[in-house]
Structure 1
């Protein structure tokens, strides 16, 4: 039986103890079969189990193997494209619903952590850091936009204010989201998986779905078993492969890279990020960083379109880190890893239904920690017949990438280069 281990990341090295779960080797029946044990799948399973459904989760590797266990660990509100984009593309009614949900994912995470006693190093506070006046104007507009949808946790930071939370000379200001925060992402996934099992759900690892028999009674097959269900939830995102061809046609896996330093010690760590907030900058291809519980700096950034792994992650990301914190020259990098997220052309999530009983959510576009937890809730609502919020997302327009599968990655990279040049030039 093939065994896919976790990648060699800081998160895997510091993960809480978790069971090695069996692969599926029999035929089982359930109400809902969820494909993927990342945040989307685990969140969906939890909400359904809490409503009394029987749930089986199939995972191709290990719980949280994909983006859920490798990301920057930042709780960032809203979506990869903000609510004003939704207003332009979906109209006022759908925008009102989607905008009202933009701050729900972070609340769901905190509720899950509290309810199920999940040990994932949860810290509050996230900062958006601006390099120039144009980016500060954007943050001012973003604050007004979010407040229009009832969110009141934002605080603008001037040059002095940003210095108090980030020991860096690069930023002219920023915005603090008191409702943001950061977590150990793999431990969050492992804790949610334990919660699923505590409610009677079943999780099978090393059990990639090989095909879905569609129809009135769908059946999901693996190499050694099958799951017959009333409903199927497809939650594989960038690691789904070609299982559902129509979902692959309008999305593109992309890679991002992360490093973790050696432990810095309390004094040096506090001198970099005195309030222990997480930070992301306002560039199109942004950098993001935070402190771990054991006082390492976790620093990520960059996008590889098409999800190819760079030859030397450390050299790419370390250079970015030292531009932000030159005082870390001489500090060793102890971990360097990459992971894939699923990009859509609109940068908004793709949500929908195939036939009457196969549901999906995908394409968080690098902004998935909070959205995936919301997605689980709206998918569960839809399965229970309460589809208003699901339909608001499902109605968003989505298009294939220009150039098809062959040219979508290089054309996207060219577009990113244009926006990166704009960022560098300050306009």
Structure 2
């Protein structure tokens, strides 16, 4: 069978040592079979194992191969659409549940890092940066909204204060969230995988799920084996393919691009981001950046609808970096890569059940680092018979993309162009 390695990213190059994991050969029986060894699958597995379940994870490539090991590494609270959007579409009770969960993911990550001794360069503090007066007004409103749900680790930043956080003249202000932060995302996934195995969970790599028998006791088939289980959790997100067509119809893989500089001097690194916070701007097609543990600038942005790999990632992202930090014009780029996230039309995650024994979570829409860890807890609760929070997510309305698979990319790109134009015009 073809061996799928990690992409040539900074994260893969600086990953903590990890053992080779076997391919699934023959038959295995378990309580829960999880498809996908990214954050959703790993988080679900940990919560289940901690409550006595037997768990097997099937991974098509390697642990954290997808978005979990390629993202910007930013711990960002809430969802891609904020809680006020949710309040307009679900019952007051479920709005409260979903609002409370919007701030839970970062706590779960920190608990996992501490409990299992995961080395992933965890740092506290994340900044939302406003380029226009309209965006600053939105941040003021967002602060009031989040505080209504008990989230109080927030500080509005004026033009002077944000200049102390990020050494650029791009912004007129911002908001600091001290419960946000950043991590080495692949090392977080690898540490969680080790924790899964320490509790008796089994992870099979290079073992893609190619078919699910939807029976009373579902069977998940791979090229060289199969897993018989009581329940299946589908956690493949943007890398699931067409395994379950009814899920693929309601979502679209999209690519985002990331570059990483050579190591910077301590003086230069500190001059760019003096507090070592991560930053994302407030544009619809946003830019995001932070320092790595070894003092490189990691800078990402842009969206490619339909998840095509651009021919020259550096040519797309380097100009964005230099617009923010022109002082880096002579700095070399050591790594450039793309990774896919799964977009939904509502930009809210899709959580549900197919039949009575196949559960799924997908469609983080670019806000996956925190959400996936909450999703794992919610899925595990549902499998233990505590479905209140699962049902709150399941109530969120979701729709197929207009035009079906043929036209979803151009329609979505047209919508993104419209919002991007509004960002540029400040309207």
TM normalised by structure 1 equals 1.00
CA distance in 2, matches of 1:60, 1:384: 27
| 1:380 and 2:380 are equivalent in the alignment | yes
CA distance in 2, matches of 1:91, 1:298: 40
- Give the structure 1 partner of residue 398 of structure 2: 398
| 1:157 and 2:157 are equivalent in the alignment | yes
- Give the structure 2 partner of residue 413 of structure 1: 413
- Give the structure 2 partner of residue 80 of structure 1: 80
Q: CA deviation at 1:163?
A: 0.4
Matches within 5 A, 1:41-52: 41-52=41-52
- Give the structure 1 partner of residue 100 of structure 2: 100
- Give the structure 1 partner of residue 230 of structure 2: 230
| 1:215 and 2:215 are equivalent in the alignment | yes
Q: CA deviation at 1:144?
A: 0.2
Q: CA deviation at 1:91?
A: 2.8
CA distance in 2, matches of 1:294, 1:112: 23
CA distance in 2, matches of 1:91, 1:25: 46
Matches within 5 A, 1:220-369: 220-369=220-369
Q: CA deviation at 1:26?
A: 1.4
- Summarize deviations over 1:25-80 as a string: whole Å, max 9, x none: 01010000000000000000000000000000000000000000000000000000
Q: CA deviation at 1:151?
A: 0.5
- Give the structure 2 partner of residue 123 of structure 1: 123
CA distance in 2, matches of 1:265, 1:64: 30
- Give the structure 2 partner of residue 38 of structure 1: 38
Q: CA deviation at 1:2?
A: 1.2
CA distance in 2, matches of 1:50, 1:338: 34
Q: CA deviation at 1:328?
A: 0.2
CA distance in 1, matches of 2:325, 2:403: 39
- Summarize deviations over 1:294-339 as a string: whole Å, max 9, x none: 1000000000000011110001000000000000001000000000
SS at match of 1:107: helix
CA distance in 1, matches of 2:266, 2:71: 24
CA distance in 2, matches of 1:421, 1:83: 25
- Summarize deviations over 1:267-307 as a string: whole Å, max 9, x none: 00000000000000000000000000110000000000000
- Give the structure 2 partner of residue 197 of structure 1: 197
CA distance in 2, matches of 1:228, 1:30: 6
- Give the structure 1 partner of residue 2 of structure 2: 2
Q: CA deviation at 1:93?
A: 1.6
CA distance in 2, matches of 1:44, 1:318: 37
What CA RMSD, in Å, does the superposition of the two structures yield over aligned residues? Answer: 0.4
CA distance in 1, matches of 2:216, 2:263: 54
CA distance in 1, matches of 2:265, 2:20: 33
Aligned length: 427
CA distance in 2, matches of 1:9, 1:141: 37
Q: CA deviation at 1:94?
A: 1.2
CA distance in 1, matches of 2:326, 2:2: 44
CA distance in 1, matches of 2:311, 2:319: 15
CA distance in 2, matches of 1:96, 1:363: 21
For structure 1, the 5+ residue unaligned runs are none
SS at match of 2:230: strand
- Give the structure 2 partner of residue 91 of structure 1: 91
CA distance in 2, matches of 1:114, 1:323: 37
**Runs of 4 or more consecutive aligned structure 1 residues displaced over 4 Å after TM superposition:** none
CA distance in 1, matches of 2:66, 2:222: 19
CA distance in 1, matches of 2:3, 2:215: 31
SS at match of 2:89: helix
- Give the structure 2 partner of residue 145 of structure 1: 145
CA distance in 2, matches of 1:201, 1:112: 16
- Give the structure 2 partner of residue 24 of structure 1: 24
CA distance in 2, matches of 1:95, 1:345: 19
SS at match of 1:360: strand
CA distance in 2, matches of 1:232, 1:425: 47
For structure 2, the 5+ residue unaligned runs are none
Q: CA deviation at 1:265?
A: 1.2
